[in-house]
Chain A
Amino acid sequence: MVLKNNLSVLSFAAVLLLTSCSTEDRTIDGVGNLVPRTVDQDANLPAIQANNARLHAEASGPANGTMVVVLHGGPGGDYRYLLPCKDLAQQGYRVVLYDQRGSGLSQRFPKKSYTAHGAGAMDVMYDDLSAVIAHYRTSPTQKVVLLGHSWGGILASGYAGKHPDNIQGVIACEAGGLKWDDIKAYVKDSRSFKLWGELLNDAAFLDQFITGKEDQHEVLDYKMSLLVSRNDITGEGTIDPSVSWRNGAVIMDALFDVGDTYHIDFSAGLDRFKKPVLFFHSENNKAYPDTWAKQITNAYPSVRLVKVPGVGHDGIITNHKAWTETTMPAILTYLRSLP
C-alpha cells in the first residue's frame, strides 16, 4: 500500500514535470520579454547591412570628416556605454558606433557560424569592420581611426596588424592583452571568484533558475546580463553605473573558445603598423598596473600611453569628468596630430 501510494506521488510528479513543458504562458525565450529586440526583430532601430549581417549602427558628425569608428568591449558588449564618444562629432569628426555581430542589438548568429571558421573566426570580425568602414566612407582619402575599448581595443589592434593601410590611427583603451596568454591572464586577474564571495555564489546559484541551450540567444543573453554589472577589481560600475542594451552571450562564448583553441595573436602584423597609437589605461583598475600597460603596449611600434586618474576600466570613457578632462582632450590632440 505504501509502495503504491508513493509510486502514485512519483507518477504525479513525473506527469507534472512533463506537462509543465507545454504550458502556454510568458516564455523566457520569447522575443522582447526579458531582453530588447535586435535590429532584425525591430525595424525601427538604426541599422546597416554589412558583410551579410544586420548591424545596429549610427553615425554622427560631418560625413566627410575624419572617421572615428568606435569598437565596444566584450566580446558581446554593446556601444551604449560608449555614447560619450559622440562628443567628438561636435569637434568635426565623423563618429561611427556599431554593435558587433552577435552583440548588443545587432543580428544574432549560431555559435557554429563562428567556430566553423576555426582560427579564421576573427577574420569575420575584421571583415565586418571593413564593411562598416566602407559603408560610411565617402571617399578613398577620408581618414579612418579606430577607437576601441577593452575587447574593442584588441579588435582594433588586430585589425591594424591585418589591414595596416586601411586605417590611419588606433586609439585603444585598456585592451586586456594582445597575445592570447596575456588575455587569459588579464581575464583571470580581473575577475574575483572568491570561494565564499557574493560574486561567485550569485553567478553559480543562478544556474538553478535559468539554463539556456546553445544558440538560445534570448535566454543566454539575459543570463549574461545578470552577471555583468559591477567589478571591484577593474572598477567597472563602481563610480558610474554600467549601462548596456543587451549582451551577446553566444559570440562571447564562441570567440573565447576560438581564442583558447588557436591561441589567437592580435599583435600579429603590428610591426607593419608604423602609425602612432594612443593607449589609455585607468588608475583604479587593479588588474591593469603600469607594468601591465607597458608590457601590452610593447607590441606597438609607436605608442603614447595615457593614465586616466580616478576611474576604472569603463570610466575612461563613461565617467564625465575623466572623459571631458583627460580622455577626450588627449584624443583630440592625437587626432589633430595625424598627418
Chain B
Amino acid sequence: MNHPIVRYILLFSLLLPAHLPLRAQVINWGNLQDGQRHWINAHTGAQYGMVFGLGYAYQLADSEFPVIANAAYSFPSGNNLLDDFKAKLGTQVRLLQMNDFHFAVKAHGIFRGYENELVRLLNWGMDLSGTIGYYRPSWFVAGEAGFDKAISTRFKHTDTYKKQYPDVKDGWYAPATGGNFNYGLQGGVSFGRHDITLSGGGLLQEDFKKKPLLPFYLLLGYNYRW
C-alpha cells in the first residue's frame, strides 16, 4: 500500500464520488427524467469469465452535461465465489447531445482481486471509455470503446509456488502489468422505472495482437430507477 501509484489511485478514487461498471450499468441518455436520481443495477454475462454484478448510480447534476456517479461490484462464477472480484468507482458524463444523438465518456478507478493455489493478486487499475449512439426514451443503441489498464499489482505467492521458485519476489509491481481494449455495441429498452440492457463486443490486448482467453464480452443488465 506504500506504492506511490496506489496513493495516486486512492486520491483519484476519493475525488470521484461513485463509480460505474465499464459496460454493466448502461445508461439510456434519452430517458433521464426529472426527479429520478438513483439507479440500482444487476448484470450477468461473459466478461473475463462468467460474471455476476450489482451496482448503484446517482445523478449528480441535471445540467446540459449530466453527470452520473457509480459504484459496482462483480465477481466471476466458480467453486469459490469470494476469491476473485472487481470493484469500480467513477463517473460518466454526457458531453454532447445533438437531437437524439448523445456522446458520453466514463472514467473509473478499479480495485480487483484474484486468487488461486499459487498466488493472490490485488490490482489498482483504471478504465476510460466512451459511447456514442442514438437514444430514444424507450430504446437506444450505441457504439462503445474503451481501455482498461492494470496500473499496479501486488503479488503474494503461496507456499506452493515458493516451493517451485523460492526466490520469487512478492510485493507491488509497476509499471502497468496489463491492459485491454474493448469495442462493441450496447442497446436496450426502457419502460416505467426499468431498463433492460445488452452490451457486447470484442476484447484486444494492448499490443493490438493478442486476445484474452475470452476474447469477447456479452452482458445482460437490468436497471431500476427512482
Contacts and interface: CB of A to CB of B under 8 A. Distances in A.
Interface residues of A, number: 52
Contacts of B3: 25
24 contacts: A3-B93, A10-B128, A20-B152, A20-B176, A21-B175, A23-B4, A25-B175, A32-B169, A33-B169, A36-B167, A202-B78, A202-B116, A204-B76, A204-B212, A205-B114, A207-B212, A208-B86, A211-B150, A211-B177, A213-B207, A213-B209, A225-B164, A226-B118, A229-B117
B126 A16 contact: yes
Nearest to B149: A17
Nearest to A4: B65
B50 interface: yes
Contact of B93 (A2, A25, A26): A2
Contact of A26 (B64, B107, B172): B172
A325 to B, nearest CB: 26
A3 B148 contact: no
B223 to A, nearest CB: 21
A241 B16 CA distance: 45
A196 B78 contact: yes
B107 A35 contact: no
Interface string B46-82: 0011100000000011011101000000001111100
Interface string B1-41: 00111001100100110000000000000000000000000
Contacts of A209: 112, 114, 121, 123, 150, 153, 177-178
Given A3-B95, A214-B209, A28 B177 contact: yes
A205 B107 CA distance: 21
Which 5 residue pairs across A and B have the least CB separation, nearest first? A198-B78, A211-B178, A201-B49, A207-B212, A201-B76
B contact face: mostly helix, strand, loop, or mixed: mixed
Contacts of B91: 6, 9
A247 to B, nearest CB: 11
Interface in B196-225: 203, 205-207, 209-210, 212-214
Interface in A1-29: 2-3, 6, 9-10, 12-14, 16-17, 20-23, 25-28
Contact of A27 (B49, B167, B175): B175
Contacts, number: 188
Contacts of B9: 16
B191 interface: no
Interface in B104-160: 105, 107, 112, 114, 116-119, 121, 123, 125-126, 128, 148-153, 155, 160
B77 A201 contact: yes
A296 to B, nearest CB: 28
Nearest to B93: A6
Nearest to A15: B8
B12 A13 contact: yes
Contact of A10 (B105, B118, B163): B105
A23 B114 contact: no
A257 B175 CA distance: 31
Nearest to A230: B117
B178 A20 contact: no
B51 to A, nearest CB: 8
Contacts of A212: 178, 210
B214 A204 contact: yes
A226 B84 CA distance: 14
B67 A6 contact: yes
A230 B93 CA distance: 46
A35 B165 contact: yes
Contacts of B161: 225
Contacts of A241: 160
B207 to A, nearest CB: 4
A338 B39 CA distance: 77
Contact of B173 (A9, A28, A195, A213): A28
A2 B165 contact: no
Nearest to A36: B165
B210 A213 contact: yes
A187 interface: no
A185 interface: no
Interface string A202-233: 11111111111110000100000110011000
Nearest to B78: A198
B112 A208 contact: yes
B150 to A, nearest CB: 5
Interface in B86-106: 86, 91, 93, 95, 105
A337 B153 CA distance: 56
B83 to A, nearest CB: 8
A25 B154 CA distance: 12
A6 B65 contact: yes
